[in-house]
Amino acid sequence: MSTFRIPGKGRVDSTKPVQFLFNGKTYAGFEGDTVASALLASGVHLVGRSFKYHRPRGILSAGSEEPNALLGIDHGPGRVEPNTRATVIEISPGLKTISQNHWPSLERDVGAINDVLYMLFSAGFYYKTFMWPKSFWNKVYEPIIRGTAGLGKSPIVPDPDIYASRFAHCDVLVVGAGPAGLAAALDAGRSGAKVLLVDEQAELGGSLLSETDAGVDGMTGWAWLKASVDELAGMSNVTLLPRTTAIGYYHQNFVGLCQRITDHLASAPEGTPRERMWKVRAKQVVLAQGAIEKPLVFDGNDRPGVMLAGSARSYLNRYGVKVGDSPVVVTSHDSAWLAAFDLARAGVKVAAIIDIRPAVPEHLTTSASALGIEVLLGWTVTGTKGRLRISSLRAKPIDGGVAQAREFACDALLMSGGWNPSLHLFSHTQGKLEWREDAQVFLPAKHIEQSRCAGAGNGNFGLAKVLAEGAEAGVAAATDAGFSGTVSAYTVSDELDMTGVSSRELPTDKNPSTAKAFVDFQNDVTAKDIRLAVREGFKSIEHIKRYTTTGMATDQGKTSNINGLAIAADAVQRQAPAVGLTTFRPPYTPTTFGAFAGYSRGGLFDVTRKTAIDAWAQERGAVFEPVALWRRAWYFPKPGEDMHAAVARECKATRDSLGIFDASTLGKIEIVGPDAAEFLNRMYTNPWSKLQPGRCRYGVLLGEDGFIRDDGVIGRLTTDRFHVTTTTGGAARVLNMMEDYLQTEFPDLKVWLTSTTEQWSVIAINGPNARNLLAPLIEGIDLSEEAFPHMSVATGRICGVPTRLFRMSFTGERGYEVNVPARYGRAIWEKLIAEGQAYGITPYGTETMHVLRAEKGYIIVGQDTDGTLTPDDAGLGWAIGKAKADFVGKRSLARPDMLKADRKQLVGLLTADPKVVLEEGAQIVLDPNQSVPMKMVGHVTSSYWSVSLGRSIALAVIEGGNARMGETVHIPMPDGTLRAEVTGTVFVDPENTRLSA
């Protein structure tokens, strides 16, 4: 079957056959093959349909720059990946690959009608076609665009693989293990520097893997390669990373590497990560990424069988595969001649070499004639034929007439428009580029990072030059990293000097309106599209690129950018730099989400903080909700109860007798020092100096802008020690804010701040029987009303364990908060549950807590406030220390906007229909009959079913709400407008008699 394999040629292991599937059919290859080389060995060129026109497409290249041969690969359930490049995927036993973007089949594709409708799809067709009528957008255009957008099919089940990530540090990171990279790594390694050498391919060697002519130091290129890799592998200070792509080059020599570990293996040990993301900080970086061959731009240059000449040479020399039986070469660069020569020497009949240059070095024509290859100088290809594979081409002298045209039968056309340095990583660093008008290339100029470029990626072609520059770069990098070494000298034999020219699109003898000379194969952009964009007024490449989509596919224009730029520059009639080079962005090649996510998925995606009592709640079947990073018990359903029933029972039990609640997640900050009270005076709105030790106060914290940031009860333990509580989500933020003021605005104050959130378990006991439960268990604290009234704090012991006991309430009932060291939290909780059975003690969750506090009009910062409410807006004006000269935010409260009567103010709402519970977030209007869009005057912030009242209650912010008591407002909902009366915010026990009941 592999009739295009040439026995004895190439580096694949012919003793290790590998079978895989392409579109359901079994193909054979060898270990060392890519999907592309194995398919070509079987004579398969047609591997996909193009994105826009559904044109048949083949394999253009032999590397990661491939724009055409994009396949879906299937390694089993969940291991499905679209748009992988056949030119880099190594074959493995049983690997399933499928072609994309066609229906019903690759050979017969209905979507190919787009190719005939070419005129409709030219540059900017999205912008032009889908403009009007407006009503068509939602129902017609968008569904069509979405249906046809994207290439390939996404996986539909979770990825079962694991992905690893790690940090690494090194002295010298060498990117690219071609001859330049190898020379750099060898000399850097010999200096003793810690070296990382990475290459995206399975085998180190780069261009050497495809080079069979030149020798180094008296050895063949391959022998030198083996000796070099062996030496590097033997150095303990050198790490070799094949199958590893340097995807991005970030600040201060931070480079991301994606290493592919298992995809090429038939099986891997359980637990082996599929890929590993390396985050490397290198002292010095050597970029030796090589160059990418440019296609020539002519009509029909995208037909299967048309490919890059250098790639055809790679398939022959590296994989032992001839890409056709009767190839023709068309080129503007010497290097393509070598492909023709190598193929001819391997027994392939090369029909012709067509070179657009009027003259070429003599040694080329001499060799061609010796090999019996016809040479046409100053000629070009004007078109190709063949439905699913090229079958012939037309050629004519560039300056000649149609009459001179000739037809060549062929099954492959090998093209070369010269070579372009791979600048991507250098470009990531914002390194400055320099345009060489003679060579029509951008080259790296000024380095921003501690880096250097070497080899073809630096514009230096030829093995001798590349090795020399690599060695020099390796020693220089090692030296800058603090080592010293000598630059190795290499003797290169049998190397030919390569020359070439650059061209724009080539002339055609076809009707220009139907000619399709492709620049960007992946996004189906032609030379004509680019010229059209310029005619329509686009002058900058950044605009041309977006209008035509050239260079915007997943290959980031690796094979198309410079051709597109040259054509645009020609159309604009300026030099390329004036039109600009598009910006390369990481990643260098498409990278899996798995590699980026690494270990951060599932339970490791984010921190889940749990209290000491969390496990008890889980064992009792609590339903949880996330609150900031914490998970908190939401409610405790009994068998058969839904949330509504459970919350109703929990509320009633707490108001009637006794409820118990895990409040451990509340933020806690210990503020200590001789100036602790003064610090609190400056931070909080309230006055603190006169608060007696043993007493508590509700504190309100503002930002400097006067808006509420946080609140909480603060207890004074001694004159110089305060126990501050914050909201659950605000703890870290509040501590940061306090540190900020203490360090930078009030450094004169002697105060120390310590987070104690995790040190204390906090158990809230609420209800008429709260004291009855606690009294027998507490030692050292007199719980009588006189000694320990509402808003008190004291230290003592509970069940023998030290405690800070607070008397406070977030429910309106008699309440205590038992703080014990976290390690005793669960034991004390269980003891309280056991002792509380006499009172029907009922554990409740955050939902019941919310209902009970809303019945009392206690706000939750972040729910009833949103960063635009002042204390007055929230009904907390009483908490402002009016006599204080200053506190954070005080000045802002006097700004004119803060004093307006129509500010949104917190009010209560009672719906006209008591059974209706409003939706939180619902918008409020004054006049339900006004035309839409209505003027919205506020929104519902909290809304619950109140068991105590047997009706719904709500809190809301409404413009000028305080002056609207008793008024009716309206809440438009999808199925009708609801009515509600504006009330005060306290719905239950406004006299606070129950606090001491």
Partner 1 sequence: MLLIRCPYCEAERPEVEFTYGGQAHIARPQNPSATTDDEWRDFLYIRANPRGIHYERWRHMHGCGRFFNAVRDTVTDKFVMTYKAGLPRPDQAELEAARS
The amino acid at 828: I
Residues, the chain, total?
997
User: Which among 767, 537, 536, 789 is positioned nearest to 652, based on CA atoms?
Assistant: 767
- Take residue 263 and report the two structure tokens written for it: 């995809």
**Cα 956 from chain centre:** 38
**Beta carbon of residue 729, minimum distance to partner 1 (angstroms, whole number):** 17
Find tokens 């507490």 and name the residue: 778
Find tokens 């390569």 and name the residue: 498
Query: Rounded to whole angstroms, how far apart are CA atoms 672 and 722?
Result: 6
Q: Would you count residue 830 as binding partner 1 (CB under 8 A)?
A: no
First-to-last CA distance in the chain?
Answer: 93
Query: Rounded to whole angstroms, how far apart are CA atoms 938 and 380?
Result: 72
Among 349, 620, 895, 900, binds partner 1 (CB under 8 A): 895
Q: Which residues ranging from 769 to 808 are in contact with partner 1 (CB under 8 A)?
A: none
Closest CB to partner 1 among 279 and 797? 279
Q: Would you count residue 430 as binding partner 1 (CB under 8 A)?
A: yes
Stretch that binds partner 1, among 315-323, 737-745, 793-801, 916-924 (CB under 8 A): 737-745
Closest CB to partner 1 among 166 and 891? 891
Angle, alpha carbons 966-967-968 (nearest 5°): 120
Query: Rounded to whole angstroms, how far apart are CA atoms 310 and 507?
Result: 23
**Beta carbon of residue 915, minimum distance to partner 1 (angstroms, whole number):** 46
Q: Under a CB-based contact definition with an 8 Å cutoff, are residues 906 and 981 in contact? A: no
Q: What is the largest CA-CA distance in the chain?
A: 116
Radius of gyration of the chain measured on its C-alpha atoms? 38
Q: Would you count residue 750 as binding partner 1 (CB under 8 A)?
A: no
Q: Under a CB-based contact definition with an 8 Å cutoff, are residues 44 and 59 in contact? A: no
Q: Would you count residue 758 as binding partner 1 (CB under 8 A)?
A: no
745 secondary structure, DSSP code: I
Q: Would you count residue 748 as binding partner 1 (CB under 8 A)?
A: no
Closest CB to partner 1 among 146 and 446? 446
Q: Would you count residue 933 as binding partner 1 (CB under 8 A)?
A: no
Q: Would you count residue 745 as binding partner 1 (CB under 8 A)?
A: yes
Residues β-bridged to residue 804? 795, 819
Closest CB to partner 1 among 121 and 741? 741
Give me the 440-479 binding string for partner 1, x by CB under 8 A, dash otherwise: --------x-------------------------------
Stretch that binds partner 1, among 409-417, 493-501, 570-578, 734-742 (CB under 8 A): 734-742
Q: Which residues ranging from 399 to 418 are in contact with partner 1 (CB under 8 A)?
A: none
**Beta carbon of residue 690, minimum distance to partner 1 (angstroms, whole number):** 22
Q: Would you count residue 705 as binding partner 1 (CB under 8 A)?
A: yes
Query: Rounded to whole angstroms, how far apart are CA atoms 233 and 179?
Result: 16
Among 149, 359, 885, 932, binds partner 1 (CB under 8 A): 885
**Beta carbon of residue 751, minimum distance to partner 1 (angstroms, whole number):** 14
At residue 754, the 3 state secondary structure works out as strand
- Take residue 875 and report the two structure tokens written for it: 């009904």
**Beta carbon of residue 253, minimum distance to partner 1 (angstroms, whole number):** 9
Q: Would you count residue 743 as binding partner 1 (CB under 8 A)?
A: yes
Closest CB to partner 1 among 250 and 698? 250
Closest CB to partner 1 among 191 and 686? 686
Site size with partner 1, rule: CB under 8 A? 25
At residue 806, the 3 state secondary structure works out as strand
Residues β-bridged to residue 419? 293
**Beta carbon of residue 883, minimum distance to partner 1 (angstroms, whole number):** 13
Q: Would you count residue 678 as binding partner 1 (CB under 8 A)?
A: no
Give me the 235-254 binding string for partner 1, x by CB under 8 A, dash otherwise: ---------------xxx-x
Q: Would you count residue 704 as binding partner 1 (CB under 8 A)?
A: yes
**Beta carbon of residue 530, minimum distance to partner 1 (angstroms, whole number):** 31
Among 15, 236, 513, 744, binds partner 1 (CB under 8 A): 744
CA dihedral 442, 446, 448, 453 (to 10 degrees): 60
Q: Under a CB-based contact definition with an 8 Å cutoff, are residues 845 and 648 in contact? A: no
Among 739, 782, 902, 927, binds partner 1 (CB under 8 A): 739
**Beta carbon of residue 477, minimum distance to partner 1 (angstroms, whole number):** 19
Closest CB to partner 1 among 125 and 250? 250
**Beta carbon of residue 755, minimum distance to partner 1 (angstroms, whole number):** 11
User: What residues contact residue 297 under an 8 Å CB cut-off, 6+ apart?
Assistant: 417, 503, 504, 505, 506, 517, 518, 519, 527, 563, 567
HEC readout, 850-890: HHHHHHCCCCCCCCCCCCCCCCCCCCCHHHCCCCCCCCCCC
Q: Would you count residue 511 as binding partner 1 (CB under 8 A)?
A: no
**Beta carbon of residue 895, minimum distance to partner 1 (angstroms, whole number):** 6
User: Which among 20, 8, 13, 99 is positioned nearest to 57, based on CA atoms?
Assistant: 99
Binding positions for partner 1, rule: CB under 8 A: 250-252, 254, 279, 281, 430, 448, 704-705, 736, 739-740, 743-745, 747, 885-886, 890-892, 894-896
